[in-house]
């Protein structure tokens, strides 16, 4: 391994450091390998793989304008680099996954919960195989079945197959010379190889049936058992035939409860993905044979500015790196980056061909949709649990008090965000968190009225307008109180209702902290308005998306909260909620305009008919999907007009 270190970063040495790094990059080998970037404090901040180390690493040191989003921020913080060459790009993929799991770099997609799932292991190379539980998959010739979502589920399955198939559960040495069998033989849970009551071939048949059942091939198991029962009956061995009959009934009862909608025997891991801000949840469904063996979810961090395909590629590397055996088929919700390379790597880990697919239709697509829906539920539930944890929210508020030098923990926090598309449909949102929890009844939406967007969006002016509308009434009340010679009261007046287009009758509630989505520019725009309104005593901060830095008006340096701190998590949740609330309103307005403008172009559809259609069907797509008779039944419509409408849509 080769490591190139730069001197500690002094303000006048920054350019010298960059020059040294560029020289080191120019000397990198043209080989596959893995590179690691460090910041000035010596912390690993990013780990990546490359088919050509020199070409890939050099891309971080070109013009900053050529880089986007998170990559630009990352490039600006690189102070040292380390690399190691590998024999192939597939080896680099393996090493990258190992190092990312070990170091958890800030700019990588990070798997926050590293789990080792239990498997059932059948040591088929042993003279008298057993079925045991293990959490590590090794290339030792044994057969592994799983993974199972929990220790309880794997024990339940082990108990089930032990009841259905009489293999030995003891670990004693089998000589065949024991004077008598143990209790398991008498309760029909073992065929007693220890006393030579069975041949190796008969015992092998039991193990084969066990593995077929664990593989989900219940029909093959039943066919073998039925053939054995017929043979026993032909040989007049009625006791043996009765035992097999009971075993067949037991297998049939179990199989009936395990069937899924897709009755094709399979071995599939189905993944779903839900993303919100810098956090994501991946849900996995383990399908083995004709039933779902279990499911689980994983939390990811560092996903901001990453594509769904990039997130899934990083996740799959870390997920299967820890000894988890890939199945025959892996279904993902988005086309992953470097699919062929990743598919070959999964095949190498399995020791057999693995298919990596992004299904577009059919049952497999529905399974992925179900997994993604579960991922969304898991993400929402994790946030509910966090917000419901009073200890965590109190710790978060105390951290904000200290980091932002507030007089007390901020009981009421308001956050503002702007949303637009190239300056059109500019809207803003205000969300309120009280005691660290969302107060949804106090959320407000705004349409930006006074900002000229003919030349494109102007987030600074839009933020200024929103802040002015929010605090104008509070400023007027304060000026009126001071004009009477009184101090401003400690107890605020209640907040009134602000809808999409009307001003409120009372905006007197005083927040303990105002957060705007953005950096210095947004903070300055908001502060100028608050100063003019004489409400600039209210603490104000801006949360920049790129590095999650908090900017304040009078502070020369931004506040950087610890990456895993409760305070950072809370402000991220508040910012993301403001963004979600603004985006949902923006999309609604855009969809409304699309519906209206399309209907306006159709001759014979005036304002009244358009209103009646949208009131009945809700959207333009719903009108497209409706039949002519249903449209004609709408108030003001006729059969001829309905036919014309369907034709033009």
The answer as to whether 461 is a domain residue is yes
With 0-12 / 13-18 / 19 or more C-beta atoms within 10 angstroms meaning exposed / middle / buried, residue 568 is buried
151 compared with 448, residue with greater pLDDT: 448
Structure tokens at 583: 């985006």
Characterize the bridge pairing of strands 329-331 and 266-276. Answer: parallel
CATH number of domain containing 608: 1.10.150.20
Q: Which helix (H) or strand (E) holds 460?
A: helix 459-483
The strand pair at 513-517 and 540-543 is best described as: parallel
Helix (H, G, I), strand (E, B) or coil at 178: coil
Burial of 305 from C-beta contacts in 10 A (0-12 / 13-18 / 19+): middle
Question: Are residues 606 and 568 both part of a single domain?
Answer: no
Q: What is the CATH number of the domain that holds 272?
A: 3.30.420.10
Q: Is the peptide bond before 147 cis (omega within 30 degrees of 0)?
A: yes
Task: Please report the sign of the dihedral spanned by the C-alpha atoms of residue 460, residue 465, residue 468, residue 471.
Answer: negative
Mean pLDDT confidence for 58-77: 77
Q: Which residues contact 595 (CB under 8 A, 6 or more apart)?
A: 614, 619, 620
Cβ contact 170:183 at 8 Å = no
Q: Is the dihedral of CA 209, 211, 212, 213 positive or negative?
A: positive
Which residue has better confidence, 336 or 422? 336
Q: Is the pLDDT higher at 100 or at 257? A: 100
Residue 620 and residue 560 in one domain: no
Same domain, 574 and 611: no
- How many other CB atoms sit within 10 Å of the CB of residue 241? 18
pLDDT band at 538 (very low <50, low <70, confident <90, very high): very high
Residue whose tokens read 């949902």: 584
**437, 476 Cβ separation under 8 angstroms:** no
Given a contact cutoff of 8 angstroms between Cβ atoms, the answer to whether 561 and 403 are in contact is: yes
- The answer to which of 25-29, 63-67, 313-317, 337-341 has the lowest mean pLDDT is 63-67
Which residue is associated with the tokens 């033009």? 648
- What pLDDT digit, counting tens, does each position of 401-421 carry? 998 989 999 999 999 988 865
Where is the domain boundary, 210, 237, 258? 258
Residue 201 lies in a domain: yes
Q: What are phi and psi of 236, to 5 degrees?
A: 65, 25
Q: What is the pLDDT of residues 494-514, one digit of tens each?
A: 333 344 433 444 466 789 999
Instruction: Give the Å distances, CA to CA, from 587 to 88, 100, 373, 581.
Output: 46, 37, 21, 10
Q: What is the pLDDT of residue 500?
A: 41
Task: Decide if 46 is inside a domain.
Answer: yes
Can you give the pLDDT at residue 488?
53
Per the domain annotation, does 401 fall within a domain?
Answer: no
Return the higher-pLDDT residue of 606 and 591.
606
Q: Is 625 exposed, middle or buried (0-12, 13-18, 19+ CB in 10 A)?
A: exposed
pLDDT surpasses 60 at 540: yes
Q: What was the pLDDT predicted at 219?
A: 67
- Phi and psi angles of residue 357, each rounded to the nearest 5 degrees, phi first: -130, 150
Average pLDDT over residues 188-197: 86
Q: Tell me the mean pLDDT in the region 97-122.
A: 75
Per-chain mean pLDDT for the chain: 78
- Residue 174: per-residue pLDDT: 85
Listed ranges 231-240, 255-264, 434-443; the one with the highest mean pLDDT: 434-443
Name the domain boundary from 579, 612, 633.
579
Highest mean pLDDT of the ranges 420-434, 482-496, 559-573: 559-573
Q: Is residue 423 part of a domain?
A: no
Residues 6+ apart with CB under 8 A from 491: none
Supply 574's token pair.
């508040």
Asked if pLDDT for residue 384 goes beyond 70, the answer is no
Cβ-contact 106, 88 below 8 angstroms? no
3 state SS of 556 = coil
Percent with pLDDT over 90 in the chain: 8
Buried b (16+ CB within 10 A) or exposed e, 92-109: bbbbbbbbbbebbbbbbb
| Predicted local distance difference test score (pLDDT) of residue 220 | 66
* Residue 123 shares a structural domain with residue 239: yes
**Residues 123, 249 within the same domain:** yes
Q: Are 21 and 81 in contact (CB under 8 A)?
A: yes
User: Could you tell me if 464 and 564 lie in one domain?
Assistant: yes
CA distance 166 to 483: 92
Please state, as a whole number, how many other Cβ atoms lie within 10 Å of the Cβ of residue 12. Answer: 7
**Do 124 and 250 belong to one domain?**
yes
CATH number of the domain encompassing residue 574 = 3.30.420
Q: Which residue has the higher pLDDT, 381 or 431?
A: 431
Q: What is the CA radius of gyration of the chain?
A: 32
pLDDT over threshold 80, residue 591: no
At residue 505, the pLDDT reads 42
What six digits make up the tokens of 338?
A: 């470097």
- For a pLDDT cut of 70, what percent of the chain falls above it? 78
Strands 266-276 and 549-551: unpaired
Q: Which two tokens stand for residue 109?
A: 């997609």
Residue 329, classed as helix, strand or coil, is strand
Return phi, psi of residue 111, to 5°: -80, 110
Q: Are residues 571 and 467 located together in one domain of the fold? A: yes
Check whether residue 104 and residue 134 sit in a common domain: no
**By C-alpha distance, which of 133, 524, 535, 97 is closest to 345?**
97
**Predicted local distance difference test score (pLDDT) of residue 259:** 37
Pick from 125-134, 423-432, 447-456, 530-539: least confident: 447-456
Q: Residue 396: name the closest of 538, 517, 568 by CA.
A: 568
| Residue 49 belongs to domain spanning | 2-108
> Is 500 inside a domain boundary?
yes
**pLDDT, mean of residues 532-561:** 85
Whether 490 has a pLDDT exceeding 50, the answer reads no
Provide mean pLDDT across the span 331-353.
88
pLDDT reading at 131 higher than 60: yes
Give the CB-side neighbour count of residue 352, counting CA atoms within 13 A: 7
End-to-end CA gap in the chain: 63
Q: Is 287 among the domain residues?
A: yes
Cα distances from 611 to residues 466, 539, 597, 626, 627, in angstroms, run 30, 45, 12, 16, 18
Domain identity same for 454 and 557: yes
- β-strands 2-4, 80-85 pairing: antiparallel
Q: What is the pLDDT of residues 284-304, one digit of tens each?
A: 888 876 566 666 778 887 777
| Residue 167 and residue 130 in contact, taking contact as beta carbons nearer than 8 Å | yes
Most confident of 154-163, 460-469, 625-634: 460-469
Tell me: do 245 and 306 sit in the same domain: no
Determine the Cα–Cα distance for residues 84 and 151; give it in Å rounded to an integer.
38
Q: How confident is the model at residue 572 (pLDDT cuts 50, 70, 90)?
A: confident
Task: Say if 591 falls within a structural domain.
Answer: no
Looking at the fold, whether 375 and 278 belong to one and the same domain comes out as yes
Domain boundary pick from 108, 142, 165: 108
Number of domains in the chain: 5
């Amino acid at each position: 391994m080769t490591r190139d270190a730069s001197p500690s970063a002094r303000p006048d040495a920054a350019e010298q450091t960059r020059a040294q790094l560029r020289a080191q990059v120019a000397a990198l080998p043209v080989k596959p390998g893995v590179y690691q970037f460090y910041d000035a404090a010596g912390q690993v901040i990013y780990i990546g793989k490359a088919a050509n180390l020199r070409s890939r690493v050099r891309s971080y040191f070109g013009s900053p304008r050529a880089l986007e989003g998170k990559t630009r921020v990352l490039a600006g913080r690189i102070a040292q680099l380390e690399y190691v060459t590998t024999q192939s790009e597939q080896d680099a993929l393996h090493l990258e996954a190992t190092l990312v799991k070990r170091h958890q770099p800030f700019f990588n997609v990070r798997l926050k919960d590293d789990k080792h799932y239990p498997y059932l292991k059948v040591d088929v190379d042993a003279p008298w195989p057993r079925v045991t539980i293990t959490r590590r998959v090794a290339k030792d010739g044994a057969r592994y079945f799983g993974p199972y979502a929990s220790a309880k589920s794997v024990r339940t399955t082990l108990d089930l197959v032990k009841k259905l198939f009489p293999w030995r559960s003891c670990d004693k040495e089998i000589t065949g010379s024991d004077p008598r069998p143990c209790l398991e033989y008498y309760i029909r849970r073992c065929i007693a190889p220890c006393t030579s009551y069975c041949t190796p071939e008969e015992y092998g048949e039991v193990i084969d049936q066990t593995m077929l059942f664990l593989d989900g091939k219940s029909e093959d198991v039943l066919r073998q058992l039925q053939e054995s029962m017929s043979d026993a009956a032909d040989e007049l061995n009625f006791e043996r035939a009765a035992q097999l009959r009971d075993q067949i009934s037991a297998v049939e009862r179990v199989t009936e409860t395990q069937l899924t909608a897709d009755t094709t025997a399979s071995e599939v891991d189905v993944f779903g993905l839900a993303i919100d801000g810098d956090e994501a949840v991946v849900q996995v469904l383990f399908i083995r044979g004709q039933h779902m063996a279990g499911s689980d979810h994983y939390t990811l961090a560092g996903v901001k500015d990453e594509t769904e395909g990039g997130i899934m590629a990083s996740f799959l590397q870390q997920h299967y790196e820890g000894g988890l055996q890939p199945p025959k088929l892996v279904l993902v919700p988005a086309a992953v980056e470097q699919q062929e390379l990743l598919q070959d790597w999964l095949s190498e880990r399995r020791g057999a061909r693995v298919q990596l697919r992004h299904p577009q239709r059919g049952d497999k697509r529905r399974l992925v949709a179900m997994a993604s829906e579960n991922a969304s539920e898991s993400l929402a539930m994790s946030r509910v649990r966090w917000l419901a944890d009073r200890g965590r929210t109190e710790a978060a508020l105390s951290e904000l008090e200290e980091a932002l030098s507030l007089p007390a923990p901020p009981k009421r926090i308001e956050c503002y965000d702007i949303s637009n598309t190239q300056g059109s449909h500019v809207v803003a949102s205000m969300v309120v968190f009280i005691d660290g929890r969302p107060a949804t009844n106090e959320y407000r939406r705004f349409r930006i009225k006074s900002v000229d967007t003919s030349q494109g969006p102007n987030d600074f002016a839009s933020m200024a307008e929103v802040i002015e509308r929010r605090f104008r009434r509070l400023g007027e009340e304060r000026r009126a109180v001071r004009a009477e010679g009184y101090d401003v009261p400690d107890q605020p007046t209640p907040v009134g209702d602000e809808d999409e287009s009307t001003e409120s009758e009372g905006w007197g509630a005083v927040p303990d902290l105002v957060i705007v989505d953005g950096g210095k520019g947004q903070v300055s725009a908001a502060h100028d308005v608050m100063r003019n309104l004489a409400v600039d005593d209210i603490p104000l901060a801006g949360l920049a998306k790129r590095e999650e830095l908090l900017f304040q008006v009078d502070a020369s340096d931004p506040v950087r909260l610890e990456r895993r701190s409760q305070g950072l998590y809370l402000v991220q949740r508040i910012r993301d909620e403001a963004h979600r609330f603004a985006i949902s309103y923006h999309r609604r307005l855009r969809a409304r305009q699309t519906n209206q403008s399309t209907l306006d172009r159709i001759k014979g559809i005036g304002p009244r008919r358009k209103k009646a259609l949208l009131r009945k069907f809700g959207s333009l797509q719903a009108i497209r999907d409706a039949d002519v008779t249903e449209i004609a039944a709408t108030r003001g419509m006729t059969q001829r007009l309905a036919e014309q409408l369907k034709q033009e849509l």
